[in-house]
Structure 1
Amino acid sequence: MPHSSVSFLVDKITLLLQEEVNLQRGVRDDVQYIKGELERHQAILMVADSSEDKDPELKVWVKNVRDIAHEMEDAIDEYDLGLVDHEQGNDICYFEEICFHLKTLKARHNIASDIKRIKSKVQVISERHPNISKESSSSSQRLSSRLDCQGDALLLEEADLVGIEQPKKEFCDLLFKDGTNRVVISIYGMGGLGKTTLAKQVYDDPNVKKYFKIHAWVNLSQSSKIEELLKDLVQQLHILIGKPVPKAIGMMKSDELKQLIKNLLLRSRYLIVLDDVWNVTLWNAVKLALPNNNLGSRVILTTRKINIASSYSGAELSREFHLKFLPTQDAWSLFCRKTFQGEPCPSHLEEECRKILKLCGGLPLAIVAISGVLAIKERSNIEEWNMVCKSFGSQIESNEDTRRVVSLSFNELPYYLKSCLLYLSIFPEFHAIEHMRLIRLWIAEGFVNGEGGRTPEEVADSYLKELLNKSLLQVVEKTSDGRMKTCRMHGLLREIVNIKSRDQNFATIAREQEQDIEWTEQVRRLSIINSCKTVLKQNKTIFKLRSLLMFALSDSLSHFSIHELCSSTGVNLLKVLDLQDAPLEAFPAEIVDLYLLKYLSLKNTKVKSIPCSIKKLQNLETLDLKHTYVTELPAEIVELKRLRHLLVYRYEIESYARFHAKHGFKVAAPIGNMQSLQKLCYIEVDQGSGALMAELGKLTQLRRLGIQKLRKEDGVALCSSIEKMINLRSLSISAIEEDEVLDIHDITKPPPYLQRLYLSGCLEKFPQWIKSCKNLVRVFLKWSRLKEDPLVFLQGLPNLRHLELLQVYVGETLHFNAKGFPRLKVLGLDDLQGLKCMIIDEGAMQGLKKLIIQQCGSLKHVPVGIEYLTKLKTIDFFDMPDELLTALRPNIGREFWRVQNVPTVYTTYWRDGGWDVYSLETFGERATDSDDHSNAMRLRTLELPILWKV
């Protein structure tokens, strides 16, 4: 992490040196010296990232480097702040230039003093930098990794393998199928789940040993060398077959060792386990030694990284086995077995024990570790158990085996990912973190820059995928087309990350329930959870805030003041202000004085208007006003030339099928001036729309565009502008009224990367350009009222995963042709009142998992061919005719056979202001009184079956 801070600072210094601003004499040389020294220290810091915990002297040195980096960052930001009111234009005369230098004299004097002081500190740490070798670091990593493998398996064996029976059965089934092909099977998941234990249980199973008479187990580490691995394998195989190990093995090169192993395995059915694979290169090196001999041989790999698990391509077959967290009941059984030596949990302790277990998150290693702490506690003292719950992080930290396993995952991260992962400590426990929110925050913090022709957003997204691939993040929710929507850290990893965050003064977390917060000397990132009171009470901390985030506040913020909260001078350098969900009713006027602000979120607040002075925030990149009451933006908004994400809209979820359920914003200004925009949602174009359409064509960097209230006469101009948006990924267009025609046919060159398309309004004919958008994964059409079958144009889209049709077609028959919709996962049909017949050919929609049909009053027969949808998991019928539902009644319905292999079939009715949901098995037992439902589930919710959210 220190390396990340320094790397970020070096970039800032480079920009400072490139500016055409006359620093005072000698300052530029001092800045260049500081930059050179910090660059020289980066090599040490990269190694120190994983070694400082073991070396107190190194840890102190790293802290000093980090403090200097922060001081230098402050100096540069204070300097930038001093120039804000005196910025020059492009064309200035000699007199204006003199005036500028006079006005900025104070700022230049201050930075000169700061730089001189910082230079002297840099000289000291340069003289005292520690000697650290990469060899020693890799040696400690190798030992730690090997201990990780052994400790992981050992702890779980001591736990009597609770919950392993079912995974073992599933894995053995996987092991014995696929016939004579050689198959590579990967077990992946985060550290502590029991990957090694599962593999060992399968490996030692008598039936497995009998089937694979030639078998070997090889332990790996991050620093394993291919020659060592191959020699180990040669020795094991010779011992197994009863032959002496060749004396020349010590002198053999890797190619000779591979050929020797290949000869030994060529005529045998073998099982080779490679435990704890950390990189693909290792597998690529060893796989040539393992012949595909068509005898049913198997290779098992265990890894923490999904990208390794899914990277095996070529002639061999590959299978992935994702080892997941323990289910609640198994976790409880393991907890009780280890804590109470197999006895039931005492009733008076159950509540506290359940809380502690929740923090373990189903991770066996964490459960075993915390159980060891609890097993020696006095059972009659509830307060003592409560203290364990409150101090969960420190309890885990003190457990060497657990801390080593989890810390290894953090320590082996590249430096650029460590800051990103540490940042997640800012969010509350169990908080589901929005994918794009996290990406925008990372960028605003300076953790991510564009590189290799990619935007910062694309780079940040790749960072997020890396963390997921390394099993350091869990996906909480996905979109219907497979994108990650929200994520979180596992509870145990979170505790380790929190500890590192505190040690490195990365972020300060202020919770209402924690009265004894350890305030650091300087607070640079502050997360306030539940209440501001804990912040207001303290007065010793120096605030040097770069980020302020608030979560689940219960305070009234009617007189909210950031300056009062964190002192008048502590927020001037703020770059991130996230007030999402805060009880705000008015835009805090002081925000517009935060000149360096890059990220501002007022999402889910009651703010109604934005002041004209918003134009002062010239560094702003994200303005998130989603689900506020803002309906109009001041014309001055277009002066924010660096704004990349402008998000202003709200939904009325309870009226999902109402045409005007979504509200955007108006702006009376040339929006084409905002050429950095990547996301613009949702702009209402019914006023001055002719000129506005042309303005939109200037926004060629747009990735997502949302248009509301489009008039027919403006369709052609909009099409012309869309053709210029070559980077567009998501497009949403809604007509001004339900029966207004969307004239969007004149697109001859649609955006080549378009993935998501949402159209609301009448279509006189189907837009032909849509069928050429081969990257489309989501298509939502509403109120199209087409006379021609839309499936004809959509079913050839090769990547379409989610299709929703609401009042789209007035015809009587929908025909899904064979081989149509090859990758469709979700299909929703809503309010197709003329639909009488639905035909699904064999081979159509072969990957469909969810089918929703609602309010199609004329569809009285079960879709013909629905039985061909063999991967279908769920069918939802909402407000459908009784004739159709009667035909589906189990055992007695004449067409029940068509859906009998579908795991879940629901029938739902809207009554008394809520949805009544019945499983297929209880159809025919519908009660008039909801309290009478013995086997049916009653569901009342605003999250309706089909959501037209973009």
Structure 2
Amino acid sequence: MAESAVNLAIEYLVPLLVQEARLLKGIHDEVASITGELEFIRSFLNDADARAEKEDKSNVVKTWVKQLREEAYHIEDVIDEYILHFAKQTHRQRRSICFLPNVFHFTMKLKPRHVIASEIRDINKKLKETRDKFERYGLEKGRSINDVGGVSWHDPRLKSLLIEEAEVVGIESPRAKLIELLVEGPTKSMVISVVGIGGLGKTTLVKKVYDSEKVTTHFDCQAWITVTQSYKMEDLLREMIQKFYETMMECAPKEIDTMKETSLMEELKQYLREKRYIVILDDLWDTEFWGHVKCAFPENNKGSRIVITTRSEDVAPSEKESPFYYVYKLPPLPLENSLELFYKKVFQHEGGHCPLGFVEMSRSIVERCGGLPLAIVAIGGLLSTKEKVQSEWHKLRDSLSSEFEINSCLRSIPRILSLSYHDLPHNLKACFLYFGMFPEDYSINCARLIRLWIAEGFIKEKQGITLEEVAQDYLDKLIHRNLVQVEDVDSIGKTRTCRVHDMMREVILSKSEELSFRTISIQNFSSFDKIARRLSIQANINTPLEGITSSQPRSIIMFEEDKLPKSLVTGFFVNFKLMKTMDFEGAAIDYLPREVGNLIHLRYLSLRETKVQKIPKSIGKLHNLETLDLKCSHVSILPVEISGLRKLRYLAAYIENHEVELNIESRRAVMIPSGIGHLESLQKLFTVEAHNASFIAELEKLRQLRKLEIAKLKREDGMALCTALEKMSHLRSLDISSTSEEEILELQSMSFPPPLLQTLCLNGRLVKLPEWIPKLKNVVRIELFWSSLLDDPLKVLQALPCLMSLQLHDGYSGEQLHFEEGGFQKLKVLELKNLGGLNSLIIDEGAMPLLEEFVIGPASQLKEVPFGIKHLKSLKSLEFYDMPREFVLSLQPPEGPEFWKVKHILSVDFWYRTQAENYEGYDIGESELLEYLRN
């Protein structure tokens, strides 16, 4: 489908018509005409896409879509080429305005405008011809694609209802859990939602539960209803009534055949009022379905149950709405069960036993399936028909993307998984397909992904919300739909890294033409001759690759870690003049050529974790640049020309020193000589050096900042910084470091701290906690490093209503800390590190009721277990390290204190340092200790 290309073209042209009317003088009407044509074509594409999950496109349609996609990209190229020429022309005029007559200026402008007008007219003509084609071939809206040669598709999901018991593997635990929820628990009606990615076996699991003797004998009547994406409510209600009557061995009233929706609901509710019923609503997609149909089910006290299967958490009735709503997230099949299922399918004639020579290859293929029974069964079924030859297995494993398209045995995998893609609104489709740019099993930084989406133009503005917030909402929606997997969550519950399932990634790669991206390697880069708007350059690529010479890519993401030839790096900046996104994170490059200044369309530039040391002055020409990521590069100073980047939203630059023990010098800030106040669009700025008072004064102009990290702050500049911070009403994250661990942070003069502040990190000596900290009603994380406070900070911090994470690293010089009853009601993570004077730690009952992770150490004076730790009923992880030997010995069972007899602790780590300064583990070891805890 070309929908993404057309959407991007429209969304690119519309603001251009508004903002660049002066630039488009003479061709404005032509561009508007193109936009109108594209809008018409988009309506067809949206309609076609809604039917795509059940229909194969004919060759006629595929050819038409391909031409349309290429034309959409051509539109973008023509406009961008013209803007580039216009910008260069303006630059030349500024340099020669004193020497050239106005007539010559006019002549220079006239030629490119004449050329662009001619090309725009050609595009309009071609679009009209394209429209004529799909009308001529019967592709107009309303006709099925099958009418022009497509083939109907029989939904393979229906097989899930017919799978024999012997074919099912690894469902014992979830089946037992669901049966328990159905036949035990409250007598109040319950709604149980089984949620998981497509192909995970939700329907198969629920069918086995539904058919079990425990369930069938427990309920008076039951009904299984498959909802799907194209349901009709009246038909579903009618079918439900009929099935309930059937299980009661009764005849349904004939009147239901003519009843309307409201009457059917009343009939159903009346019939079920005094019965214990169970109904399965299988394959729900509509988020509004439950809210509409729930009034048809009576809330009796008979122990009735409604079970929903869905791929999306947004569809499942939320546990927050009612205590009688339960969401069960079905996990992937464990590797051991996956192999068992695979062997059953492949080695049927060998009794399900895998020959020794195929064990390693089987494991490799099964791991690609990622615990997805659908994929395991389909691939296993195909291999069962082939000769047991390792070369054939290797070939299949390495070419799954193409096999999904051409092999009828595997075609069900992408079709079932693609249903989730087709159900996405169009604004999420390009975002989802973009995951194909990352290598297999790659852990994707969510913040990086969001900035890339914005640079690509996938994110639409919404009034009162930043682009970053809109993009975060898009990512959350993809996660809730189980299309994206959460990999790492931080201490306050924010998703930091994510990935896509390997099988879903294969589906994405099969649709890669929609975003016109190609995965290539450096080795065959020079021979690449296909059109590619987006390039992902990776090492060890096995796909047959060609390349780029006739292409004009807009995006490059580099995952190559080998040293790149200097000529190649320069070539990126010289040859690809319309580039918008360049991500070299982790690439082996050590310089940025001055030709970077020619890429006036560039929005995103990342040199993170490279060896680049210097940024050329030409960076100041990149007036469209939104992201400049220099984190962990070798850049220590930015040119003054950086002040010209008025659209810059994200600027990150610092150098990490991992060779020294953690101290205030571990991270070296970047210096910006002057002009920081001109960057008024900045939302994130870190880590910058507070090198003089005028720099700090300029910060108050940055009213859009959401995150600020500033280092080397002198005591005398603290008041000026506080004045600047009071102007930052949008600030969410603040990190301040002094010039040394002994330098005092003077931050008392702030009367009105940023009201939305969520994260606060103070690195440096504090005489006392700033008086504005109690006003931080939204703060969720506080870190105090080297503050050496004399007063107990808990007295101030415990009343913060939203605090979830607290870290004191050399943050208190006193002898006692007291967590009082009722304090820290939301705290989940507590780290007390390097508190050398601490000898007493008291925890009252009712303090920190939600604490899950507790870390203490080093604490050389703490000789006994914190008093009251037994009150921490939610504790899951406990870590003591570098503690005195007396402390460790006091824990030795069986003499150890009673608080160890808590069964909810999942992990315990103990480390202490001997006189020889070596770390040794706890005497009985973690596994033995946990066994002791649970007994």
Judge same fold: TM > 0.5, yes or no: yes
Between 773-782 and 303-312, the greater mean CA deviation after superposition: 303-312
Aligned residue for 1:451, secondary structure, equals coil
Partner residue in 2 for 1:930: none
Aligned residue for 2:533, secondary structure, equals strand
Q: Aligned partners of 2:125 and 2:261: how far apart in 1? A: 52
Counterpart AA for 1:814: L
Partner residue in 1 for 2:473: 462
- In structure 2, do the counterparts of structure 1 residues 901 and 723 end up closer, same or farther at CA, with 3 Å as the change threshold? same
Note if contact 1:512-1:532 (Cα within 8 Å) is conserved in structure 2. no
Aligned residue for 2:394, secondary structure, equals helix
Deviation at residue 227 of structure 1 after TM alignment = 1.2
Q: Aligned partners of 1:105 and 1:544: how far apart in 2? A: 25
Note if contact 2:179-2:214 (Cα within 8 Å) is conserved in structure 1. no
Counterpart AA for 2:3: H
Q: Aligned partners of 1:387 and 1:22: how far apart in 2? A: 53
Aligned residue for 1:879, secondary structure, equals strand
- In structure 2, do the counterparts of structure 1 residues 916 and 722 end up closer, same or farther at CA, with 3 Å as the change threshold? same
1:129-157, CA deviations, whole angstroms, 9 ceiling, x for partnerless residues? 344446858999xx9999354244556x5
Partner residue in 2 for 1:932: none
Q: For the aligned residues, what is the CA RMSD?
A: 3.1
Partner residue in 1 for 2:217: 210
Deviation at residue 826 of structure 1 after TM alignment = 1.3
Partner residue in 2 for 1:938: none
Partner residue in 2 for 1:644: 649
Partner residue in 2 for 1:275: 282
Partner residue in 1 for 2:304: 297
How many residue pairs get aligned? The number is 913
Partner residue in 1 for 2:834: 831
1:407 and 2:412 correspond: no
Spell out the pairing of 1:339-378 with structure 2 (5 A cutoff).
Answer: 339-341=346-348, 342-378=351-387
- In structure 2, do the counterparts of structure 1 residues 520 and 247 end up closer, same or farther at CA, with 3 Å as the change threshold? farther
Counterpart AA for 1:493: M
Q: Aligned partners of 1:516 and 1:761: how far apart in 2? A: 50
- In structure 2, do the counterparts of structure 1 residues 134 and 472 end up closer, same or farther at CA, with 3 Å as the change threshold? farther
1:100-155, CA deviations, whole angstroms, 9 ceiling, x for partnerless residues? 54433333233123212212211201222344446858999xx9999354244556
Partner residue in 2 for 1:77: 80
Note if contact 2:594-2:617 (Cα within 8 Å) is conserved in structure 1. no
Note if contact 1:859-1:884 (Cα within 8 Å) is conserved in structure 2. yes
1:394-438, CA deviations, whole angstroms, 9 ceiling, x for partnerless residues? 334431322221111112211111111111111111111110111
Partner residue in 2 for 1:147: 155
Note if contact 1:183-1:317 (Cα within 8 Å) is conserved in structure 2. yes
1:573-629, CA deviations, whole angstroms, 9 ceiling, x for partnerless residues? 011111111111222333222221111111111111112221111111111101011
- In structure 2, do the counterparts of structure 1 residues 228 and 731 end up closer, same or farther at CA, with 3 Å as the change threshold? same
Deviation at residue 717 of structure 1 after TM alignment = 1.3
Deviation at residue 274 of structure 1 after TM alignment = 0.9
Identical residues among aligned pairs (%) = 40
- In structure 2, do the counterparts of structure 1 residues 169 and 512 end up closer, same or farther at CA, with 3 Å as the change threshold? farther
Partner residue in 2 for 1:121: 126
Q: Aligned partners of 1:270 and 1:925: how far apart in 2? A: 47
Partner residue in 2 for 1:722: 725
Counterpart AA for 1:418: K
Note if contact 1:215-1:237 (Cα within 8 Å) is conserved in structure 2. yes
Note if contact 1:146-1:221 (Cα within 8 Å) is conserved in structure 2. no
Partner residue in 1 for 2:688: 683
Note if contact 2:870-2:899 (Cα within 8 Å) is conserved in structure 1. no
1:777 and 2:780 correspond: yes
Spell out the pairing of 1:387-786 with structure 2 (5 A cutoff).
Answer: 387-397=395-405, 398=407, 399-502=410-513, 504=514, 506-511=516-521, 521-530=530-539, 541-554=549-562, 556-557=563-564, 559-562=566-569, 564=571, 569=575, 571-653=576-658, 655=660, 657-685=662-690, 687-688=691-692, 690-786=693-789
- In structure 2, do the counterparts of structure 1 residues 693 and 775 end up closer, same or farther at CA, with 3 Å as the change threshold? same
Note if contact 2:527-2:546 (Cα within 8 Å) is conserved in structure 1. no
TM-score, length basis structure 1: 0.90
Note if contact 2:319-2:326 (Cα within 8 Å) is conserved in structure 1. no
Note if contact 1:152-1:405 (Cα within 8 Å) is conserved in structure 2. no
Aligned residue for 1:828, secondary structure, equals strand
1:168-225, CA deviations, whole angstroms, 9 ceiling, x for partnerless residues? 1222333345422222111101001111112112222212222222322211111212
Q: Aligned partners of 1:540 and 1:653: how far apart in 2? A: 39
- In structure 2, do the counterparts of structure 1 residues 745 and 658 end up closer, same or farther at CA, with 3 Å as the change threshold? same
Deviation at residue 79 of structure 1 after TM alignment = 0.5
Counterpart AA for 2:623: Q
Note if contact 2:820-2:844 (Cα within 8 Å) is conserved in structure 1. yes
Unaligned runs of 5+ in 1: 927-934, 936-950
Aligned residue for 1:104, secondary structure, equals helix
Partner residue in 1 for 2:255: 248
Deviation at residue 165 of structure 1 after TM alignment = 0.6
Between 310-319 and 278-287, the greater mean CA deviation after superposition: 310-319
Deviation at residue 896 of structure 1 after TM alignment = 5.9
Between 690-699 and 10-19, the greater mean CA deviation after superposition: 10-19
Aligned residue for 2:76, secondary structure, equals helix
Counterpart AA for 1:413: L
1:47 and 2:51 correspond: no
Deviation at residue 539 of structure 1 after TM alignment = 7.2
Counterpart AA for 1:448: I
Deviation at residue 17 of structure 1 after TM alignment = 3.1
Partner residue in 2 for 1:382: 390
Counterpart AA for 2:254: K
Counterpart AA for 1:174: L
Note if contact 2:761-2:783 (Cα within 8 Å) is conserved in structure 1. yes
Q: Aligned partners of 1:713 and 1:499: how far apart in 2? A: 60
Note if contact 1:873-1:904 (Cα within 8 Å) is conserved in structure 2. yes
Spell out the pairing of 1:798-837 with structure 2 (5 A cutoff).
Answer: 798-837=801-840
1:794 and 2:802 correspond: no
Deviation at residue 60 of structure 1 after TM alignment = 2.2
Partner residue in 2 for 1:61: 64
1:32-51, CA deviations, whole angstroms, 9 ceiling, x for partnerless residues? 22221111212111122344
Q: Aligned partners of 1:920 and 1:366: how far apart in 2? A: 46
Partner residue in 1 for 2:114: 109
Deviation at residue 99 of structure 1 after TM alignment = 6.2
Partner residue in 1 for 2:890: 887
1:230 aligned to 219, 224, 237, which one? Answer: 237
Q: Aligned partners of 2:778 and 2:40: how far apart in 1? A: 45
Deviation at residue 800 of structure 1 after TM alignment = 2.0
- In structure 2, do the counterparts of structure 1 residues 852 and 314 end up closer, same or farther at CA, with 3 Å as the change threshold? closer
1:70-98, CA deviations, whole angstroms, 9 ceiling, x for partnerless residues? 111000000010011334899x99x9976
Partner residue in 2 for 1:841: 844
Counterpart AA for 1:248: E
Q: Aligned partners of 2:485 and 2:264: how far apart in 1? A: 40
Aligned residue for 2:628, secondary structure, equals strand
- In structure 2, do the counterparts of structure 1 residues 23 and 281 end up closer, same or farther at CA, with 3 Å as the change threshold? closer
Partner residue in 1 for 2:22: 21
- In structure 2, do the counterparts of structure 1 residues 561 and 261 end up closer, same or farther at CA, with 3 Å as the change threshold? same
Between 545-554 and 305-314, the greater mean CA deviation after superposition: 305-314
Aligned residue for 1:129, secondary structure, equals helix
Note if contact 1:144-1:408 (Cα within 8 Å) is conserved in structure 2. no
Spell out the pairing of 1:867-886 with structure 2 (5 A cutoff).
Answer: 867-886=870-889
Counterpart AA for 1:584: I
1:853 and 2:856 correspond: yes
Between 813-822 and 542-551, the greater mean CA deviation after superposition: 813-822
Aligned residue for 2:534, secondary structure, equals strand
Note if contact 1:905-1:920 (Cα within 8 Å) is conserved in structure 2. no
Unaligned runs of 5+ in 2: none
Note if contact 2:455-2:604 (Cα within 8 Å) is conserved in structure 1. yes
